Structure 1
Amino acid sequence: MDVTTLYAIGELARRTGLSVRTIRFYSDEGVVTPTTRSPAGYRLYDLDALLRLELVRTLRELGMDLATIRRVLDRELSVADVAAAHADAVDVQIRMLTLRRSVLRVVAGRGSNPEETKLMHQLTQLSDAGRRRLFDDFVEGTFGAVDADPAAVALVRAATPDLPEDATGEQVAAWVEIAKLVGDEDFRARMRQAAMRQVAQSPLEIERAAGEELMAFTRQAVMEARQAGIDPLSDRAAPVIDTLVDRFAAVLARTPDPHLRDWMAEQFEQAHDSMVDRYWRLVWIVNGWQIVPNLLPIYPWLIQALRQDRAA
């Protein structure tokens, strides 16, 4: 084959894998022009046209539009620049498809109704900037109207939920639940109180009365129970609670009876808000953070176990 070889449309179609109709369309659009015509009026194309068509086919298969391809062929744009832009666009498409797949799996697994399905889709369709605005509105609505401690605000901002590009179904479900929580006025009030209390680090009445040694023993006992997989509502939790109640009774000079257990549960409940605790767990899930056992709050387990023992 040499540079003087001319090809009819049928031969170009065979060599490029494009259809005759497509080549004719590209020719009419000026993407590739015929070199000359045969005596019978048929279009003939040279080697340059063949190479242009092969490039057009490659770029089209990579998802580039015809207008952009024409600018590449006319050397207004480089292939490298266009490829980089399209690679970014493909990344966005992959991210959205991955989120869509995760939403569908959550919907299928939870048997979601149409309203919940629509909400999940809308929330996951938000851009990164849109999700940040949602969280910024939450922080402003929670702390903006009061003279909040900057440390409390920083505490909440430091754990901004950030939905990853390859989010799992669990992470999508957690993100949707977070989005519902942050728009709830009651939750905002509870989060404000919890964050400011945590920053202040003021001990509870029962913590002051028990002393550091007994509280350290309590934290260790509950942490070991959790690591052992002991359900606070199970019979296996009873010996742990019995030991703790006996120790508190000795230190506080009280009788280890149901009244003491009830009082202990009420005292520890002051430092625990189940809705706020749920929020932090959801943030851990969305951000893909490892749950470290000794950083988990001990009071939820302790309160449940104390209440269960009293009920029994």
Structure 2
Amino acid sequence: MSHELLWSIGELAERAGATVKTVRFYSDQGLLPEAARSSGGHRRYGPEQLQRLQLIRSLRTLDLPLPEIRRILQDDPAGRALENAVDGRLRRLGNEMRTLRWREAALELVRDCPPAQRAGRLRLLGALGSPPSTAPLARFWRTWLPPRMPSRATAAFLEVAVPHPPDEPHPAQVLAFARLHAMTTAPCPGGRQPQPEVHRVAGARGAALLYAGLAEAFELAAAHVRRTRDPHPGEALDAYVAAYAGAYRSRDTRDFRRLLAATLAAEPRLDQYWQLAAIVLTPPGARPQPTPGSADDWLRAALRQDNAEAT
């Protein structure tokens, strides 16, 4: 290339609207190699380097780090490296925005509560990350489920039992999740959550079948809960009773339904957990989203009604 078409580092900086310090930095990093050297050893740049410098500055405007910019320049500005870098930056930015939204809602929660409650709310919030992890809730349920229950069945249960923090939380949802965290991390007398008697009877393998059947029953019941339909016998209740009948190695008879209602009424409840989970899942003013807890309540009421009608 003719030296008449080449520019000094200052001339390149002026054409690009950058500083000499910026051009020198990118050159020293190997991102902007010079086109030639003058007889005095000074760097010279041409139109190709101007385009490259403009591209580098555009990529930096997108907050892409230098190692990723290097890969893009080595690959092709229109190639896969740019696509991967942009996708990665979008994921990181999404995580940062979720963190900021959570912190904003937490700050509003502290600001808007009565002064006498602020210390308590700060303690609750101080135990959480931003956004918080669901790992403590999952550990809580793992200690509640039967030991040695198959991992696939456990994962399926956790998927519906553990509410995930919303991306754009309302302060009420932040408070509910903080209370869930406190509830599930509090020491349990005896070292283990009280479990339903059916866990002992069914065992690990039987419990997997039980929860697969209950998942089907809860899904059927959830449709009625969403439409605020009163509990009633039908397909959802039949699936519910069948799941328990299989776990108890029994048949779905009238006597079994009466026995099941009595057994369920005597078991420990986790009502507070499901109430808080419903708040986490539902923004204020929206219709509450069904949870396994609310579906179970509906089914138990349907079972009581069915038994009463058969009397």
Q: TM-score of the superposition, structure 1-length normalised? A: 0.56
User: Is structure 2 residue 284 aligned with structure 1 residue 279?
Assistant: no
Structure 1 residue 54: Cα displacement: 0.8
For the 8 Å contact 1:3–1:47, the answer to whether it is kept is: no
CA RMSD of aligned residues (A): 4.3
User: Is structure 2 residue 82 aligned with structure 1 residue 79?
Assistant: yes
Map of 2:179 onto structure 1: 177
1:115-134 deviations in Å (ceiling 9; x for gaps): 8536525523366xx41x32
User: Is structure 2 residue 159 aligned with structure 1 residue 168?
Assistant: no
Structure 1 residue 180: Cα displacement: 0.8
Map of 1:117 onto structure 2: 122
Which of the residues 141, 144, 155 maps onto 1:142?
144
Q: How does 1:237-276 map to 2 (within 5 A)?
A: 276=270
User: Is structure 2 residue 52 aligned with structure 1 residue 55?
Assistant: no
Change (3 A) 1:30 1:278: same
Structure 1 residue 154: Cα displacement: 8.2
Letter in 2 for 1:164: P
Structure 1 residue 155: Cα displacement: 7.8
User: Is structure 2 residue 109 aligned with structure 1 residue 106?
Assistant: yes
Q: What secondary structure does 1:31 align onto? A: coil
Change (3 A) 1:11 1:143: same
Q: TM-score of the superposition, structure 2-length normalised? A: 0.56
Aligned partners of 2:119 and 2:19: how far apart in 1?
44
Number of residue pairs the alignment of both structures matches? 218
1:225-280 deviations in Å (ceiling 9; x for gaps): xxxxxxxxxxxxxxxxxxxxxxxxxxxxxxxxxxxxxxxxxxxxx8899x943322
User: Is structure 2 residue 27 aligned with structure 1 residue 23?
Assistant: no
Change (3 A) 1:36 1:122: farther
Q: What secondary structure does 2:31 align onto? A: coil
For the 8 Å contact 1:284–1:290, the answer to whether it is kept is: no
Aligned partners of 2:278 and 2:6: how far apart in 1?
66
For the 8 Å contact 1:34–1:45, the answer to whether it is kept is: yes
Letter in 1 for 2:138: D
Stretch moving more, 27-36 or 49-58: 27-36
Structure 1 residue 193: Cα displacement: 5.8
User: Is structure 2 residue 1 aligned with structure 1 residue 7?
Assistant: no
Aligned partners of 1:146 and 1:38: how far apart in 2?
75
Specify the structure having the higher radius of gyration (Cα): 1
Q: What secondary structure does 2:44 align onto? A: strand
For the 8 Å contact 2:75–2:81, the answer to whether it is kept is: yes
Q: How does 1:211-250 map to 2 (within 5 A)?
A: none
Letter in 1 for 2:103: R
Aligned partners of 2:137 and 2:72: how far apart in 1?
42
Change (3 A) 1:180 1:122: closer
Aligned partners of 2:11 and 2:67: how far apart in 1?
25
Change (3 A) 1:49 1:194: farther
Structure 1 residue 113: Cα displacement: 5.3
Aligned residues: percent identity? 27
For the 8 Å contact 2:144–2:193, the answer to whether it is kept is: no
User: Is structure 2 residue 86 aligned with structure 1 residue 89?
Assistant: no
Change (3 A) 1:88 1:3: farther
Aligned partners of 1:171 and 1:108: how far apart in 2?
15
1:181-235 deviations in Å (ceiling 9; x for gaps): 122326x988746999xx9xxxxxxxxxxxxxxxxxxxx9xxxxxxxxxxxxxxx
Letter in 2 for 1:90: L
User: Is structure 2 residue 288 aligned with structure 1 residue 291?
Assistant: yes
For the 8 Å contact 2:13–2:20, the answer to whether it is kept is: yes
Structure 1 residue 145: Cα displacement: 6.5
Change (3 A) 1:21 1:114: farther
1:58-114 deviations in Å (ceiling 9; x for gaps): 111111111221121122862112212222222222222222222222222235657
